[in-house]
Structure 1
Amino acid sequence: MQIYKVGGAVRDRLLGKPVTDIDWVVVGATTEEMLAKGFRPVGADFPVFLHPKSGEEYALARTERKSGRGYGGFTFHASPEVTLEEDLIRRDLTINAMAEDDQQNLTDPYHGQRDLEERILRHVSPAFAEDPLRVLRVARFAARYAELGFKVAPETLELMRQLSESGELEALTAERSWKEISRALMEDQPQVFIQVLRDCGALKVLMPEVDALFGVPQPEAHHPEIDSGIHTLSVLEQSALHKQPLTVRWACLLHDLGKGLTPEAEWPRHIAHEHKGLTLIKAVNERFKAPKDCQELALLVGQYHTHGHRALELKASTLLELLQSFDIYRRPQRFEEFIAACEMDARGRKGLEQRSYPQADYLRGAANVARSVAVQPLLEKGFKGPELGEALKRERLKALKAHKESAAF
């Protein structure tokens, strides 16, 4: 029995990056031997075990063969005869197909270390094209390592293109897709993930609503970058630069989908794109079964982001309706995330990345003013039921009018 550290732990050590998760491969062992040593079995598809003390995953060396569609369409074979090289060749990228023993002696049959040095994301073997999930994984790695200068190898991009055109991407489950998408959006350069998907034709399969934004112009006076797709990438980039949470990043990706529905005759204006885009945002949310908080914020940002930009001009009554839509009294964090998404949208414009966004403080102030209106004095005056609601609304409107008059912008 021989044990090797494999995959990301080896890759990240060689890159000088922190190693978080460690995967181990066991060569020359049987299930019975692992159980005898106290390892606990997990996973129904192939023999994976948890270490009795560390809890880390140890997998028996295995081969795999395509047996059906999609990510799960594989037959696995694990036995003591499977070599380390045979186990490594089934992996996605050469930089993930390296192993090292307990003395840090490197086993690198597919030249992963060379590709690390040359900053190339390259597939290990033609079997790469058998797993559609790898399209998303490679795009995610491109986003993760973009800051180091990594690029997808042309021949790998071509395989990704073939996968995108094969219909295999449609076989991916919503859960597997969302896991990769959500992880990719939280990388330092999530816009690279979307760009790579577009480069290989996967974006128009997975998110045709986002793909449709590219080539759609916007008014240059407000959007110097002009192209709606480029703007979306820039907004996503800003959301990462400002360390926004997943909810905000997801909303940033989807906020302008309605612009893809504007007839060419109306370009570059996009009248009512906020309302038109809601059906598309809902479709993307449901396609990937995004978490409820992500779904809700994306819809609210899609509908109201131009309200955010025009906050200083809004009437007190419109401002109150906006605040009520977000349920700021019970869910203050959601409105804060809306403000953040609006600011990312404003900064995601060529040459305007550093421009101040006074709307943010104005909206926060308005929310605080509305929340500060006390109910007790109205109850003491005898208001109750619907009358209490109307009285509370009048007091909040009065407070918001005062807030608007006092704002020094």
Structure 2
Amino acid sequence: MRTYLVGGAVRDKLLGRALVDRDYVVVGARPEDMFALGYKPVGKDFPVFLHPQSGEEYALARTERKTGHGYHGFDFQADATVTLEQDLARRDLTINAIAEDEHGVRVDPYHGIRDIEQRVLRHVSPAFAEDPVRLLRVARFAARFAPLGFTVADETMKLMRGMVAAGEVDHLVAERVWTETRKALTEPQPSAFLRVLRQAGALAVLFPEIDALYGIPQRAEFHPEVDTGVHIEMVLDMAARLAPRDDLVGFCALTHDLGKALTPIQELPRHLGHEHLGVAPLHELAARLKVPAEHAALAELVCREHLNAHRAFELKPSTVLKLLSSLDALRRPERLDTFLLACEADKRGRLGHADDDYPQAAYLRAARGTAAAVTAAPFVAQGLQGPAIGAAMEKARIQAIAGIKPGRS
């Protein structure tokens, strides 16, 4: 019975990154051996155990065999005869197929250390093509490691294109697509997630609403990058910079301009009304992927109202209050914060504008603060009742917002 540290923990040690989770594989053991040592079973499809003291996961070495479509279509073998090399062979990427024993000696049968040094994401074996989730995982790892210079190996990209052509990606369930997407939105460079999926042909299958944005021109005086798809990539990366690891802001950034794909050709490169056109495709995307309700709700608000945020200084005080009310910002200021981060990412996610100020955010937060300070108590004291109290509060809030001097820059 031998125990090895495996996967991401070994990879991240080699990259000098902080270790978040440690996973172990146990070779030469049976489930009853683990029970005898006090380990607690947690695996459903194959034997995984929790260490009795640390709570870390220990899995018996296993092999897997493809039996059907999708990522559920596998049979597993986990017994004392499975070798470490066999267990590592079933992993997705070479950089995740490195093991380390208790003495720090590394086992690297698939040259993952070389690929870490060369900054390459490369599949371990042709069996990679049997699990469509791996395509999403490669795109997600690209979003994580692109800042370090990692790229997808040509042969791996070829394999991924073949998976899409064979229809394997069509068998991905919505929940798994969303789980991987949500993780990708928390990575340092989410644009790489889109680029890898698009290069593989998977973006058009999984996110047709996003894929449709590529090649759609915008007015160069406002968007020097011109291409709307490129703009979305820049907004995603800016969102990751402004709100690290915040997938809610990231999802709002991803979907805020879906309406631009629906602009009539004769109107290009202008996009009049795109903020309203984008609501329907956003609903379709959110429903198809079973996106959480709050993500869908805030993304819709960003889609519909981001232009109002950009022109906040031109809005009438009554319109500012209406905007704040649509966000429920008086009761839930955190929604305004999310909204403003996504809007700022949109404004700064343009070629040559990454370091622009966004004073609209401070103005709208000040408007929210002064409006929220208006309460019902003084109007009740005046003897007002029922709807009259609400009307008086609305008027007072509009007057309070009107008293704020916008801090333009």
- Stretch of structure 1 that moved more, 34-43 or 394-403: 394-403
Task: Report the alpha carbon displacement of residue 90 of structure 1 after superposing the two structures with TM.
Answer: 0.5
Q: Structure 2 vs 1, CA of residues 242 and 93 (structure 1 numbering), >3 Å: closer, same or farther?
A: same
Task: Report the alpha carbon displacement of residue 401 of structure 1 after superposing the two structures with TM.
Answer: 2.2
Q: Does 2:268 correspond to 1:271?
A: no
Task: Report the alpha carbon displacement of residue 281 of structure 1 after superposing the two structures with TM.
Answer: 1.2
Is the contact between residue 46 and residue 78 of structure 2 (CA under 8 Å) also seen in structure 1? yes
Q: Matched residues in 1 for 2:20 and 2:354: separation?
A: 33
CA RMSD in angstroms, aligned pairs only? 1.2
SS in 1 for 2:231: helix
Q: Matched residues in 2 for 1:319 and 1:4: separation?
A: 59
> Which residue of structure 2 lines up, in the alignment, with residue 18 of structure 1?
18
Task: Report the alpha carbon displacement of residue 173 of structure 1 after superposing the two structures with TM.
Answer: 2.1
Is the contact between residue 3 and residue 25 of structure 2 (CA under 8 Å) also seen in structure 1? yes
Q: Matched residues in 2 for 1:17 and 1:323: separation?
A: 41
> Which residue of structure 2 lines up, in the alignment, with residue 218 of structure 1?
218
Q: Matched residues in 2 for 1:394 and 1:242: separation?
A: 35
Is the contact between residue 197 and residue 203 of structure 2 (CA under 8 Å) also seen in structure 1? yes
Percent identity among equivalent residues?
55
SS in 1 for 2:278: helix
Task: Report the alpha carbon displacement of residue 383 of structure 1 after superposing the two structures with TM.
Answer: 1.6
SS in 2 for 1:3: strand
Write out aligned runs for 1:104-183 (5 A).
104-183=104-183
SS in 2 for 1:210: helix
Task: Report the alpha carbon displacement of residue 71 of structure 1 after superposing the two structures with TM.
Answer: 1.2
Q: Matched residues in 2 for 1:269 and 1:400: separation?
A: 32
Task: Report the alpha carbon displacement of residue 226 of structure 1 after superposing the two structures with TM.
Answer: 0.8
Is the contact between residue 362 and residue 407 of structure 2 (CA under 8 Å) also seen in structure 1? no
Code of the aligned partner of 2:134:
R
Q: What per-residue deviation string (whole Å, max 9, x for no partner) do you get for residues 234-266 of structure 1?
A: 011111122342211110010000001112111
Q: Matched residues in 1 for 2:265 and 2:317: separation?
A: 36
Q: Matched residues in 2 for 1:150 and 1:240: separation?
A: 18
Write out aligned runs for 1:2-401 (5 A).
2-244=2-244, 245-401=246-402
Q: What per-residue deviation string (whole Å, max 9, x for no partner) do you get for residues 255-305 of structure 1?
A: 000001112111111111111111111222222222232222111100100
- Stretch of structure 1 that moved more, 33-42 or 237-246: 237-246
Is the contact between residue 94 and residue 111 of structure 2 (CA under 8 Å) also seen in structure 1? yes
Q: Matched residues in 1 for 2:319 and 2:178: separation?
A: 35
SS in 1 for 2:128: helix
Q: What per-residue deviation string (whole Å, max 9, x for no partner) do you get for residues 186-214 of structure 1?
A: 11111111111111111111111011100
Q: Matched residues in 2 for 1:257 and 1:408: separation?
A: 31
SS in 2 for 1:145: helix
Code of the aligned partner of 1:294:
H
Is the contact between residue 39 and residue 49 of structure 2 (CA under 8 Å) also seen in structure 1? yes
Q: Matched residues in 2 for 1:374 and 1:55: separation?
A: 50
Q: Matched residues in 2 for 1:178 and 1:11: separation?
A: 25
TM-score (norm 1): 0.97
SS in 2 for 1:333: helix
Q: Matched residues in 2 for 1:160 and 1:298: separation?
A: 30
Code of the aligned partner of 2:313:
L
Q: Matched residues in 2 for 1:390 and 1:33: separation?
A: 72
Q: Matched residues in 1 for 2:385 and 2:199: separation?
A: 60
Q: Matched residues in 2 for 1:234 and 1:306: separation?
A: 18
Q: Matched residues in 1 for 2:74 and 2:165: separation?
A: 20
Structure 1 unaligned spans of 5+ = none
Q: Matched residues in 1 for 2:136 and 2:305: separation?
A: 30
Q: Matched residues in 1 for 2:210 and 2:247: separation?
A: 17
> Which residue of structure 2 lines up, in the alignment, with residue 407 of structure 1?
406
Task: Report the alpha carbon displacement of residue 408 of structure 1 after superposing the two structures with TM.
Answer: 5.1
Q: Matched residues in 2 for 1:60 and 1:116: separation?
A: 26
Q: Matched residues in 2 for 1:340 and 1:24: separation?
A: 39
TM-score (norm 2): 0.97
Q: Matched residues in 2 for 1:247 and 1:328: separation?
A: 16
SS in 2 for 1:217: coil
Is the contact between residue 243 and residue 249 of structure 2 (CA under 8 Å) also seen in structure 1? no
Task: Report the alpha carbon displacement of residue 312 of structure 1 after superposing the two structures with TM.
Answer: 0.5
Task: Report the alpha carbon displacement of residue 156 of structure 1 after superposing the two structures with TM.
Answer: 0.3
Q: Matched residues in 1 for 2:205 and 2:5: separation?
A: 36
Q: How many residues align?
A: 407
Code of the aligned partner of 1:295:
A
Q: What per-residue deviation string (whole Å, max 9, x for no partner) do you get for residues 154-212 of structure 1?
A: 11011111122222223222222222111111111111111111111111111110111
SS in 2 for 1:25: strand
Q: What per-residue deviation string (whole Å, max 9, x for no partner) do you get for residues 75-129 of structure 1?
A: 1011111111111111000111111111111111111111111111100000000
Structure 2 unaligned spans of 5+ = none
